[in-house]
């Protein structure tokens, strides 16, 4: 039995992870569940899966959660400290970090320091704090298994290969709903248009990030840390069908790709079972139905997030955290209908520019990274207030 804790069990990845677990009830013991604020669903999950521990990220919802799991034999926790407790429970072997945002960093780091295996679906942990998290994982001999579909693909393509055999990695990107838009038309796209992803069914924040391609930007930085790959060796190619989940180019020119349906349950399952592979009854890709696979260059005028990501990644220090946090702040405003779509990247670019005057450390501690994260959120909202 794999003793598992899930951070973010009510989100899109968390719910699909539970679907994976439902297929193998005799192989997983769900020790702990945690969610940000969806108490109703969390309580329902507690009733169904009977974990020993449950936590809600939003401290104010603690008493609501206690009330809604009354009579069940479960220990209730709350706040960031609750998430960290969940991540470090002695009997837990494997932590699935599936929360969205920078809130995932500290619990994941705590799990690594407690020598838990980590299945990582939270990009921000590596984007903002890769310089801290990766050395800690090495130091504690902890494996981080990527759950993001592109990184799971690259992880599979790289398996068993020497780094000296690898020329570069190629992340595929669907291009989202605005792939064929003209730059001038982007300014007036609506929230509903941006939320209509052609292939993937995901949470709101990541769907907007796919429309701006900030998601791919975050994935570039994530790949740098996961695979110890210089930025010059990370390429992005648009692949509208999202069938090829990413590729690796070897030194002799051979391209290795991983293909599958647009179904996150596959990378989630591998993240939970690795190094084993278990046979599942989820639908499988029929190549004759895929018909065509197209590949196009990224237009960085249409998607400035890609250039910003390379800049943030190459500069390093606190800039990736600032890139991520500013984006999180402005995307929330976009989702509330407060700003234009194109302001997402322009404000992030401005915040990145201003941050150079703030003298953030080039080799930051976790505290400095988290301070830069907070600074960037405030700076983004101030710039928005000035521009509106
Ligand atoms: Mg992805």
Q: How far is the CA of 99 from the centre of ligand 1 (A)?
A: 14
Q: How far is the CA of 215 from the centre of ligand 1 (A)?
A: 7
Closest C-alpha to 355, from 317, 329, 328: 317
Q: How far is the CA of 330 from the centre of ligand 1 (A)?
A: 20
d(CA 148, CA 202): 12
For residues 211-229, b (16+ Cβ closer than 10 Å) or e, as one string?
Answer: bbbbbbbbbbbbbbbbbeb
Q: How far is the CA of 357 from the centre of ligand 1 (A)?
A: 32
d(CA 175, CA 185): 16
Q: How far is the CA of 75 from the centre of ligand 1 (A)?
A: 33
10-residue block means of pLDDT along the chain (388 residues)?
Answer: 97 96 97 96 98 97 97 97 98 96 93 98 95 98 97 97 98 95 93 86 86 97 98 98 97 98 96 96 93 95 98 98 97 95 97 95 96 97 88
* Cross-strand pairs, 244: 259
Question: Dihedral (C-alpha) 349, 303, 221, 118: value to the nearest 10 degrees?
Answer: 120
pLDDT given at position 388: 65
Q: Which residues lie closer than 8 Å to 290 by C-beta, 6 or more apart?
A: 241, 243
Q: Which residues lie closer than 8 Å to 7 by C-beta, 6 or more apart?
A: 34, 83, 86, 87, 95, 96, 97, 98, 99, 104, 107, 108, 122
* Cross-strand pairs, 7: 34, 97
Q: How far is the CA of 61 from the centre of ligand 1 (A)?
A: 30
pLDDT given at position 308: 98
Q: Tell me the CB-side half-sphere exposure of residue 340, using CA atoms within 13 A.
A: 11
Under the phi-then-psi rule, with left for phi > 0, alpha for psi from -120 to 50, and beta for the rest, what region is 141?
A: left
Q: How far is the CA of 227 from the centre of ligand 1 (A)?
A: 15
Q: Tell me the CB-side half-sphere exposure of residue 208, using CA atoms within 13 A.
A: 24
Long-range contacts of 218-221 (CB under 8 A, 24+ apart): 218/123, 218/124, 218/127, 218/309, 218/324, 219/123, 219/148, 219/150, 219/151, 219/171, 220/171, 220/306, 220/309, 220/310, 220/313, 221/126, 221/127, 221/130, 221/309, 221/312, 221/313, 221/320, 221/323
Q: How far is the CA of 50 from the centre of ligand 1 (A)?
A: 31
d(CA 69, CA 39): 10
d(CA 11, CA 100): 8
Q: How far is the CA of 70 from the centre of ligand 1 (A)?
A: 38
* Cross-strand pairs, 255: 249
Q: How far is the CA of 150 from the centre of ligand 1 (A)?
A: 5
């Amino acid at each position: 039995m794999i003793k598992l804790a899930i951070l973010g069990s009510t989100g899109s990845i968390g719910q699909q992870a539970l679907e994976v677990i439902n297929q193998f009830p005799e192989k997983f013991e769900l020790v702990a569940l945690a969610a940000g604020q969806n108490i109703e669903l969390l309580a329902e999950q507690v009733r169904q899966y009977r974990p020993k521990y449950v936590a809600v990220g939003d401290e104010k919802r603690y008493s609501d959660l206690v009330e809604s799991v009354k009579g069940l034999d479960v220990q209730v926790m709350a706040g960031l400290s609750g998430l960290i407790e969940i991540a470090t429970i002695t009997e837990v072997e494997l932590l699935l970090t599936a929360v969205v945002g920078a809130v995932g960093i500290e619990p994941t780091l705590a799990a690594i320091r407690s020598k838990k295996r980590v299945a990582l679906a939270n990009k921000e942990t590596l984007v903002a704090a890769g310089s801290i998290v990766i050395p800690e994982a090495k130091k504690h001999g902890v494996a981080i298994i990527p759950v993001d579909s592109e990184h799971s693909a690259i992880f599979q393509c790289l398996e068993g290969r020497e780094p000296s055999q690898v020329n570069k990695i190629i992340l595929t990107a669907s291009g989202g709903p605005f792939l064929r838009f003209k730059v001038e038309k982007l300014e007036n796209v609506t929230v509903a248009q941006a939320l209509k992803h052609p292939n993937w069914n995901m949470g709101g924040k990541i769907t907007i990030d796919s429309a701006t391609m900030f998601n791919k930007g975050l994935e570039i930085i994530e790949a740098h840390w996961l695979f110890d790959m210089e930025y010059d060796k990370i390429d992005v190619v648009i692949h509208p069908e999202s069938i090829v989940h990413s590729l690796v180019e070897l030194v002799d020119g051979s391209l290795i790709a991983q293909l599958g349906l647009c179904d996150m349950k596959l990378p989630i399952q591998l993240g939970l079972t690795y190094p084993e592979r278990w046979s599942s009854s989820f639908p499988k890709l029929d190549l004759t139905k895929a018909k065509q696979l197209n590949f196009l260059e990224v237009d960085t005028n249409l998607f400035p997030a890609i250039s910003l990501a390379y800049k943030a990644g190459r500069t390093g220090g606190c800039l990736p955290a600032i890139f991520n946090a500013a984006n999180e702040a402005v995307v929330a405003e976009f989702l509330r209908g407060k700003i234009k779509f194109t302001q997402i990247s322009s404000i992030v670019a401005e915040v990145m520019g201003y941050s150079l005057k703030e003298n953030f450390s080039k080799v930051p501690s976790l505290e400095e990274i988290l301070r830069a994260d907070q600074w960037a959120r405030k700076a983004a909202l101030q710039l928005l207030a000035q521009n509106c």
